[in-house]
């Protein structure tokens, strides 16, 4: 399975919106998709609860730590037929927890808002990924998305220069559009709505291409050991 993590130390960057829209995109494309919600607020779980039965199914997992022991271990089990896993990680996820999570994913997407504070915090978080998280030594693709950007807003030139120095791709820019609110209110992704502005869907094309390239790279890596159980566990 291909595993994508959406993460940023800064709260309010739109991680859940991005996670649910990626999961909805994969499900709508016909992939067996799982969505793991590590946020105690369980916003992704609330989104999934509103998802209509007529929509492509998504296996949602509440993965936050308020349940421990064997019960938690069971809840983190992923159906064996799963092809795509999207992981929604809460703000403040750092240190050992972050390192442990990085070892389990194939791609990391970092959404950042167009404000000086958000750019500064995100830059520090990326530094932490490469220093404390030691992500350079891991077979993980990392990319940044400009999220909730108002039309005609100049986008992130200082952050772009910073990412260029670290050789991290700036994937795409997603507008601050009511389409995302409409989709969230119905448990859908923007890809599953009718009458969406084609220019908004076009903004997803670079991300879709980046994910496809990350998946191809992950598949070229040496496969992990075959689990002894018939059901994968996160």
Evaluate whether 115 touches 152 at the Cβ level (below 8 Å). no
Question: How does DSSP classify residue 222?
Answer: P
Mean of pLDDT over the chain: 86
CA 189/CA 183 separation, integer angstroms: 5
Evaluate whether 47 touches 16 at the Cβ level (below 8 Å). yes
What confidence tens digit (pLDDT) does each residue in 211-225 have? 999 999 999 875 544
CA 194/CA 12 separation, integer angstroms: 27
Burial of 178 from C-beta contacts in 10 A (0-12 / 13-18 / 19+): exposed
pLDDT for 231 beyond 60: no
In 3D space, the residue among 172, 182, 178 whose CA is nearest the CA of residue 147 turns out to be: 172
pTM summary value: 0.89
Domains annotated on the chain, with CATH: 2-220 (3.40.50.300)
Burial of 9 from C-beta contacts in 10 A (0-12 / 13-18 / 19+): buried
Neighbours of 189 (CB within 10 A): 27
What confidence tens digit (pLDDT) does each residue in 149-202 have? 887 666 567 777 777 877 889 999 999 999 999 999 999 999 999 999 999 999
CA 192/CA 182 separation, integer angstroms: 11
Beta-sheet strands, E only, within 2-126: 2-6, 33-37, 58-62, 77-78, 84-88, 107-112
CA distances from 187 to 19, 94, 224, 234 (A): 12, 29, 33, 24
CA distances from 175 to 14, 127, 135, 159, 169 (A): 12, 26, 29, 18, 18
- Whole-number pLDDT of residue 180: 96
Evaluate whether 121 touches 9 at the Cβ level (below 8 Å). yes
Instruction: Categorize the per-residue pLDDT at 234 as very low, low, confident or very high, splitting at 50, 70 and 90.
Output: low
């Amino acid at each position: 399975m291909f595993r994508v993590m959406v993460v940023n130390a800064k709260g309010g960057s739109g991680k859940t919106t991005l996670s649910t829209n990626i999961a909805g995109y994969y499900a709508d494309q016909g992939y067996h998709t799982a969505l793991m919600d590590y946020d105690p607020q369980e916003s992704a779980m609330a989104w999934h609860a509103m998802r209509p039965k007529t929509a492509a199914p998504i296996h949602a997992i509440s993965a936050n730590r308020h349940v421990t022991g064997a019960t938690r271990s069971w809840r983190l089990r992923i159906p064996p037929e799963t092809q795509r896993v999207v992981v929604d990680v809460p703000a403040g996820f750092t240190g050992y927890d972050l390192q442990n999570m990085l070892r389990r994913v194939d791609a990391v997407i970092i959404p950042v808002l167009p404000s000086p504070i958000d750019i500064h915090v995100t830059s520090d978080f990326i530094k932490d990924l490469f220093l404390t998280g030691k992500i350079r030594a891991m077979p993980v693709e990392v990319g940044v998305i400009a999220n909730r950007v108002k039309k005609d807003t100049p986008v992130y030139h200082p952050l772009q220069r910073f990412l260029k120095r670290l050789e991290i791709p700036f994937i795409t820019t997603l507008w601050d559009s009511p389409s995302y609110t409409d989709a969230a209110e119905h448990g859908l992704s923007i890809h599953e709505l009718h009458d969406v502005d084609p220019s908004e869907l076009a903004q997803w094309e670079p991300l879709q291409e980046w994910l496809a390239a990350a998946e191809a790279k992950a598949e070229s890596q040496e496969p992990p050991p075959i689990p002894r159980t018939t059901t994968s566990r996160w």
